A and B are shown apart, each in its own frame.
Chain A
């Protein structure tokens, strides 16, 4: 599909489970590039901000001088998949503790909002767009405490009453780990967004 567009998607690889995302994307025939320095951001068809430790990633973004160029890429309108720590980096507001973020996603997140690792686990998701019976693994997961009212943001899945998967424009963000999901339905959804965006780019 879209064989003329060879651009890979970038996976932020400062720290975290970026390799699992790459494996999941490879299963859908998507080429990936690890992003560690600003030069890695050129010519990407999309960007993945993986899980890991958001504080660690924030430190490294500064040290590498990546804060600005990565922010520019994220704002360029290419499809973005942000999971767990990645979703924290993208959120408009981060609590517990308050920390800096790119502020591109109109949501408020509470770090470790479901508790420490002891409370981590795999839970059923409620969704109209994911296959019936889909579960999500939440690991010291951020909790979305609010989607800004009136924002152009669609909640695609819930864990109990909490939104856990949101799509806002070209950004798809999950509090759980799509790369650990059997069959990777969320990754598939994002790959479709990347291919649609590529198709639109090629049409111009």
Chain B
């Protein structure tokens, strides 16, 4: 087990807590985590086979459209969703907003997403996730960003993609970059790994573990722009262990049906026959956005570092 969960000792953070946090995230593998904005959507998601829901006030597509500061959700709404379903309930906090995280922990949400989809609260520091008993998931665009978040105590990583676009291109870019970063370490000598540790701004031990194991020490999920069953299967074939689907479900013309189809596509990501079957007649997907046309300040993935 020490082989599997190699995060260097961190003050106030026991190895057992680590197994419990990462272990929670392991249970979500092969599943779909769906964004929901109320109890009714949460029930639809659970009924469709979601392995967890992400409670938030506005899905990323609406945050884009409406603008303004996006903050953590109203506790009342989170509590209502917790009461409505038996699957795990996650919720988002702004990058660096450790008090929003304290509030979510007090509500006993099962997992906290420190998310670039909300407006960042701190331009210097992410939340010190080791101080919390609740597992955190954080976004990344490449290996360095993933390792920095893991070193801060994230129990799960998701590649960021570009949320609210219905366009999977950024999710693919980030997943490929992450694996390229991992593969680059394979078989390298100590000097090279030491240099990488400096470059990624994380302890050498973490880089050395990834070099040896050729994977992240925590589950590696995908998010941001997944709109179809084939998108979900694409991310799993590229090495994601589960997917987050945000606007893609409840912004489509037939959320129930699409949700079920994406769940099934995630289970059978390697079976094109099943993928063909579940992709039939789903109605309109969410309207997509061309990412290249987004001005830099509207790109959510560039939030965080």
Measured between beta carbons, the chain B residues less than 8 angstroms from A140 are 24, 27, 88, 110
Measured between beta carbons, the chain A residues less than 8 angstroms from B82 are 116
Contact A15 B16 (CB under 8 A): no
Contact A84 B27 (CB under 8 A): yes
A93–B184 Cα distance when bound, in Å, is 51
A63–B1 Cα distance when bound, in Å, is 35
**A52 CB–B CB distance under 8 Å:** yes
Measured between beta carbons, the chain A residues less than 8 angstroms from B51 are 15, 52-53, 56
Q: Which B-chain residue is minimally distant from A111 (CB atoms)?
A: B86
A-contact 0/1 string along B249-270, CB 8 Å cutoff: 0000000000010011011100
Measured between beta carbons, the chain A residues less than 8 angstroms from B17 are 121-122
**A120 CB–B CB distance under 8 Å:** yes
Contact B267 A122 (CB under 8 A): no
A59–B29 Cα distance when bound, in Å, is 16
Contact of B49 among A13, A60, A118 (CB under 8 A): A60
**A17 CB–B CB distance under 8 Å:** yes
A19–B19 Cα distance when bound, in Å, is 16
Interface size for B (C-beta < 8 A) is: 40
A122–B26 Cα distance when bound, in Å, is 15
Given the contacts A63-B260, A111-B86, A117-B88, A56 and B49 also touching, CB distance less than 8 Å:
yes
Contact A120 B20 (CB under 8 A): yes
Report B20-44 residues with CB < 8 Å from chain A CB: 20, 23-24, 26-31
**B87 CB–A CB distance under 8 Å:** yes
Contact A15 B31 (CB under 8 A): yes
Given the contacts A60-B49, A122-B20, A112 and B86 also touching, CB distance less than 8 Å:
yes
Measured between beta carbons, the chain A residues less than 8 angstroms from B109 are 116
Contact B267 A55 (CB under 8 A): no
Contact B268 A117 (CB under 8 A): no
Report A169-198 residues with CB < 8 Å from chain B CB: 177, 180-182
Contact A137 B108 (CB under 8 A): no
Contact A19 B23 (CB under 8 A): no
**A100 CB–B CB distance under 8 Å:** no
Contact B29 A137 (CB under 8 A): no
**A165 CB–B CB distance under 8 Å:** no
A138–B23 Cα distance when bound, in Å, is 9
A-contact 0/1 string along B39-61, CB 8 Å cutoff: 00000001111111000000000
Q: Which of B29, B47, B48, B110 has the most CB of A within 10 A?
A: B29
**B194 CB–A CB distance under 8 Å:** no
**B133 CB–A CB distance under 8 Å:** yes
Q: Which B-chain residue is minimally distant from A50 (CB atoms)?
A: B27
Contact A14 B88 (CB under 8 A): no
Contact B27 A53 (CB under 8 A): yes
A15–B28 Cα distance when bound, in Å, is 7
Contact A19 B29 (CB under 8 A): yes
Measured between beta carbons, the chain B residues less than 8 angstroms from A16 are 27, 29-31
Contact of A59 among B20, B47, B271 (CB under 8 A): B47
Contact B108 A116 (CB under 8 A): yes
Report A49-65 residues with CB < 8 Å from chain B CB: 51-53, 55-56, 59-60, 63-64
Contact A118 B30 (CB under 8 A): no
A60–B30 Cα distance when bound, in Å, is 12
Contact of A137 among B19, B28, B271 (CB under 8 A): B19
CB distance from B142 to the nearest CB of A (A): 24
Contact B105 A118 (CB under 8 A): yes
Report B99-136 residues with CB < 8 Å from chain A CB: 105, 108-111, 133-135
Contact of A14 among B2, B30, B108, B260 (CB under 8 A): B30
Contact B50 A56 (CB under 8 A): yes
Contact of B30 among A13, A55, A64, A117 (CB under 8 A): A13
Measured between beta carbons, the chain B residues less than 8 angstroms from A112 are 86
Q: Which B-chain residue is minimally distant from A18 (CB atoms)?
A: B30
Measured between beta carbons, the chain B residues less than 8 angstroms from A14 are 30, 267
Given the contacts A122-B19, A181-B1, A17 and B267 also touching, CB distance less than 8 Å:
no
A to B CB contacts below 8 Å, 18 in the list: A15-B30, A15-B51, A15-B267, A16-B30, A17-B29, A19-B29, A36-B271, A53-B27, A53-B31, A55-B86, A56-B49, A56-B51, A59-B48, A112-B86, A120-B24, A121-B17, A139-B27, A177-B23
Residues of A near any B CB (own CB < 8 A): 13-20, 36, 51-53, 55-56, 59-60, 63-64, 84-85, 96-97, 111-112, 115-122, 135, 137-140, 177, 180-182
Residues of B near any A CB (own CB < 8 A): 1-2, 16-17, 19-20, 23-24, 26-31, 46-52, 82, 86-88, 105, 108-111, 133-135, 260, 263-264, 266-268, 271
